[in-house]
Amino acid sequence: MKRIIVVLAVIAGACSSGKENAKATTEKPAPAVKTVTVENHTFHETVSSSGMLTSKSEIKLAFKTGGMIRKSYVSEGQYVKAGQLLAELDLSEIDAQVNQARIGYEKAKRDHDRAEKLYREEAATLTVLNDAKSGLEIATQTLDAVQFNQKLSRIYAPVSGRILMKLAEQGELIGPFAPMFILGTGEQAYVVNAGLTDRDIVKVALGDRAEVTLDAYPGETFEGRVTQIAQMITPATGTYAVEVEMAPNGKRLISGFVARMSVHTQKSASTLAIPVEALVNAQGNQADVYIYSGGKALKRQVSIGKVYDTYVAVSSGLQAGDIVITTGSGFVSDGDPVTINKP
C-alpha cells in the first residue's frame, strides 16, 4: 500500500512540474520599445507648391513693332556677343515711314527758317514764327519716333550670352513685343516660379528659407530663398506668383525642369506634439497612443491636430511629461509589460 502511495506522489509531482514548465515556455518575454517624453514644440509653418525652373539671367528679346521676320542670323545654342545683330524685320513699310517723316521734317525746317527770316525783316508776325516753330517741333518728334521704331525693328544682343531658345523663324509674322529669343547671360543663378493660394501667400515673406527638389535629381535638395512675391493675382491661374532663388549645387540645370518647393515661413505655432509613429488606429482627429507607466503599456485615446513633418500636434489626452511609446507601439496591447530599449 505504501508503495502505491509513493508511486502516485511521484506521478503527481511529475505532472505539476510539467505544467509549470509548459507555462514557463508559453510566457512571452516583454517586448522592447522606444519612448519619448511629451513636451511643447515650436513649429514653423511650411507652404508647399510646384513650379518651373528658369535661369535668373534669362532675357527675353523682342521687336517693338510687328511684321514679317526678314532675316534671323543666329540659332539655338549659339554664343553671341554684346551688340551683335540677331534678327530683323522686313523694313519696307517702316523705311517708307522714316522717309516720309524725314521729308516732313525738312519741309518744316524750311518753313521755320523762312518765317524766322521774315520776322527779323518785320515781314511776318510773331504768331507766324511760333506756328513755324511748333510745326518744326512736331516734325522732329515724328522723325525721332519712326527712327526709334526702325532701330527696334532689329534685335541686338544687349549682353554676351547664349541663345537658349528661338521662338520664331525667318518668314513668320510676329507681333509687337512678342519674344523671339531667350538669351542666357551665363550667371549661375536659377529661380523657381510657382503659384500660391491666398491662404498661403499671406504666410510667406521675403527672405523665407525654402527647400527645392527637382525630378531630374531625385533625392537631391537645393537650398533657396524667397526673392519676389506678387502683389496681385494671376488671372489665368487664380494664384499669386512667388519666386524662389536657388543655387545649382554644382549640378547641370536647364530651364524648364519641374520643381517642387517647400517654404519655411516665419509664422510659428507652439503646441504639445509627439512623433507620428506613436499613433495607433488614427481616424480623423482621433487616435490611440500607448503610455509607458510602471513597466506596462497603457492605451489612451488622444485628439490630434496639424502634422508638422514627422510630428503631430496633440490637443487633448496627453500632458507634458507623459512618456509615450513610439517604436513598437503597433505590437503591444493595453496592459502588456514592456521594457524600454535604450539607445
Beta strands 209-214 and 190-196 are unpaired
Query: Is the domain of 211 the same as that of 123?
Result: no
Of 267, 297, 320, the residue that ends a domain is 267
Give the CATH number for residue 239: 2.40.30.170
Cell numbers given for 49: 507648391
Query: Is the domain of 70 the same as that of 167?
Result: yes
Give the CATH number for residue 181: 2.40.50.100
Q: What is the DSSP string of 216-257?
A: TEEEEEEEEEEEEE-SS-BTTTTBEEEEEEE--TT----TT-
What one-character DSSP code corresponds to residue 4?
A: H
Q: How far apart are CA 274 and CA 326, in angstroms?
A: 9
Q: How far apart are CA 142 and CA 145, in angstroms?
A: 5
Query: Is the domain of 194 the same as that of 110?
Result: no
Q: How far apart are CA 241 and CA 237, in angstroms?
A: 10
Angular region, 40: left φ>0, alpha ψ -120 to 50, beta rest: beta
Cell numbers given for 210: 525654402
Q: Is 294 helix (H, G, I), strand (E, B) or coil?
A: coil
Residues 140-199 have pLDDT tens digits of 999 888 888 788 788 999 988 888 889 988 888 888 888 999 888 765 678 999 999 999
Query: Is the domain of 182 the same as that of 260?
Result: no
pTM confidence score:
0.48
Of 267, 294, 314, the residue that ends a domain is 267
Torsion (CA) 26, 30, 33, 36 in degrees, nearest 10: 150
Secondary element (H or E) of residue 73: none
Q: How far apart are CA 113 and CA 215, in angstroms?
A: 71
Q: Is 66 helix (H, G, I), strand (E, B) or coil?
A: coil
All residues at 6 or more sequence positions from 136 whose CB lies less than 8 Å from its CB, including other chains: 105, 108, 109, 111, 112
Torsion (CA) 7, 8, 9, 15 in degrees, nearest 10: 110
Q: What is the DSSP string of 134-153?
A: HHHHHHHHHHHHHHHHHHTT
Of 135, 163, 186, the residue that ends a domain is 186
Domain extent at residue 166: 63-89+154-186
Query: Is the domain of 214 the same as that of 252?
Result: yes
Query: Is the domain of 75 the same as that of 179?
Result: yes
* Residue 19, in any domain of the structure: no
Give the CATH number for residue 101: 1.10.287
Q: How far apart are CA 279 and CA 311, in angstroms?
A: 10
Query: Is the domain of 72 the same as that of 215?
Result: no
Cell numbers given for 105: 521734317
Give the CATH number for residue 334: 2.40.420.20
Taking only the tens of pLDDT, the chain with its 343 residues reads 445 444 444 444 544 554 444 444 445 678 888 999 999 888 878 899 999 998 777 788 998 888 889 999 998 888 899 999 999 998 888 888 889 999 999 999 998 999 888 888 888 888 888 988 999 999 899 988 888 878 878 899 998 888 888 998 888 888 888 899 988 876 567 899 999 999 999 989 999 999 999 999 998 999 999 999 999 998 888 999 999 998 888 888 887 899 999 998 887 778 899 999 999 988 888 999 999 988 899 999 999 988 887 889 998 999 999 999 998 888 888 988 988 876 5
Phi, psi of 137 (to 5 degrees): -65, -40
Torsion (CA) 232, 235, 238, 241 in degrees, nearest 10: -50
Number of domains in the chain: 4
